[in-house]
């Protein structure tokens, strides 16, 4: 009888501990979430000219603990140039939100219509009317059609050339149908077809970086070129 009572007492004690733990699991987060001391009163947005505190107004006077990295889906949808949003909580009630936009790659001027059109190409291949916020390659389309993969080729070319110490804003490219030509500080470059531009950019990057060449460069394959410059 004593043994049975002892077992019953142990079971009751374990039940009490489990119930107490369950209460604590729900009670402590609830105290934080509903506490008036930890509610958002101040929001600071950094790193963006197009997104400001207004776009996060729904967070004001909500629990600072209820806001996380997955709270920004609507902002990503609103501005597809956003690559990453980082959140820093400064207790008890300030949010610092840092926004990184995708890199702008090229300003493209299309002359094929009756009215020239200018758009900016982003690293994620977004193509839109917007102001420039970093150095880009200047591209003119004088004739077409333009291959579907051309924008992707421009992105890989720009990202390759960024590995060299050159100012890509001084690069001008002209697409005339199936041929692409370029110019950089007195160097005229004939890329031939606008294909394999990452490989071609890597092949010519060092020459552009030296900055002591004035002449013509013509690609004979995706990895080699002939030039009148002294290398």
Residue 212 has pLDDT above 50, yes or no: yes
Write the secondary structure of the chain as one string of H (helix), E (strand) and C (coil): CHHHHHHHHHHHHHHHHHHHHHHHHHHHHHHHHHCHHHECCEEEEECCCCCCHHHHHHHCCCEHHHCCHHHCHHHHHHCCCEEEEEEEEECCCEEEEEEEECCEEEEEEECCCCCCEEEEEECCCCEECCCCCCCCEEEEEEECCCCCCHHHHHHHHHHHHCCCCCCHHHCEEEEECCEEEEEECCEEEEEECCCCHHHHHHHHHHHHHHCCCCEEEEECCCCCEEECCCC
**Per-residue pLDDT band at 190 (split at 50, 70, 90):** very high
Residue 229 has pLDDT above 90, yes or no: no
For the chain, the structural domain boundaries read 36-101, 104-227
What is the residue whose two structure tokens read 């077992």?
Answer: 7
Percent of the chain with pLDDT over 70: 84
Q: Give mean pLDDT, residues 37-46.
A: 94
Q: Give mean pLDDT, residues 211-221.
A: 90
Percent of the chain with pLDDT over 90: 74
Tens-digit pLDDT profile for residues 112-168: 989 999 999 999 999 999 999 999 999 999 998 899 999 999 999 999 999 999 999
Residue 27 has pLDDT above 50, yes or no: no
* Domain 36-101, architecture per CATH: Roll (3.10)
**Per-residue pLDDT band at 9 (split at 50, 70, 90):** low
Return the higher-pLDDT residue of 215 and 9.
215
């Amino acid at each position: 009888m004593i043994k049975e009572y002892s077992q019953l007492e142990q079971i009751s004690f374990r039940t009490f501990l489990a119930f107490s733990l369950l209460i604590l699991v729900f009670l402590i987060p609830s105290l934080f979430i509903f506490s008036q001391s930890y509610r958002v009163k101040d929001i600071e947005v950094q790193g963006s000219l197009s997104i400001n505190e207004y776009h996060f107004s729904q967070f004001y006077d909500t629990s600072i603990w209820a806001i996380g990295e997955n709270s920004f889906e609507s902002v990503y949808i609103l501005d597809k140039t956003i690559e990453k949003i980082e959140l820093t909580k400064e207790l008890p009630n300030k949010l610092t939100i840092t926004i990184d936009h995708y890199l702008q790659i090229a300003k493209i001027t299309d002359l094929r219509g009756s009215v020239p059109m200018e758009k900016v190409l982003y690293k994620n291949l977004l193509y839109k009317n917007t102001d420039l916020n970093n150095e880009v390659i200047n591209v003119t389309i004088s004739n077409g059609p333009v291959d579907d993969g051309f924008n992707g080729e421009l992105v890989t070319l720009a990202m390759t050339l960024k590995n060299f110490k050159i100012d890509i804003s001084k690069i001008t490219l002209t697409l005339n149908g199936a041929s692409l030509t370029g110019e950089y500080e007195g160097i005229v470059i004939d890329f031939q077809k606008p294909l394999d531009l990452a490989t071609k950019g890597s092949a010519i990057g060092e020459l552009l970086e030296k900055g002591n060449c004035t002449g013509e460069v013509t690609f004979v394959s995706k990895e080699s070129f002939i030039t009148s410059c002294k290398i």
